[in-house]
Amino acid sequence: MKVSDDCVGCGQCAAYCPFDAITVFGRAAMNENCTECGKCTEYCPVCAISEA
């Protein structure tokens, strides 16, 4: 998944990620657990996540 500069770091994606694949520190970043399932895109309030 790709995270754009619009990400504010609210952590909603991390909380709803079924694979614990997102860490947040001022902005979201996917780790090696990411399966590209795309669940996070639904929960992003600023539409900052898209498929890589």
Partner 1 sequence: MKAVVIGAGLGGLLAGAKLTKAGYDVEIFERLPFIGGRFTNLPYKGFKLSTGALHMIPHGSRGPLAQTLKEVGADVTIIDSQPMAVILKENNEIISFHDFRNELTLTKQVKLGTILAYSLKFKPKNDISFRDWVLKYFDDEFLLKLADSFCGWALSLTAKDVPAREMLEIIDNMYLYKGSGVPIGGCGAVTDALSQIIRSNGGRIYSQSCVEGISIENDLAKGVIVNGKTIEADIVISDIGHFGTSKLYECKDKEYLDKISNVKPSKGIKICLSSDEPLIGHSGVFFTPFAKRINGINEVTNADPSLAPPGKHLVMSHQAIISDDRKFEIDLGLLDLKQLFPGKKYKVLLIQSYSNGWPVNRASSGSDNGNKTPVRNLYIVGDGAKGKGGIEVEGVAIGVRNVMDEAGVC
Give the interface with partner 1 as residue ranges (CB under 8 A). Answer: 6, 8-12, 14-15, 24-27, 42-43, 45-46
Q: How far is the CB of 22 from partner 1 (least distance, A)?
A: 10
**14 Cα distance to chain centroid:** 6
Q: Give the nearest distance from C-beta 30 to partner 1 in angstroms.
A: 16
Q: Burial letters for 28-49: b for 16+ Cβ neighbours within 10 Å, e otherwise?
A: bbbeeebeeeebbeeebeeebb
Min dist. Cβ of residue 18 to partner 1 (A): 12
| Closest CB to partner 1 among residues 37, 46 | 46
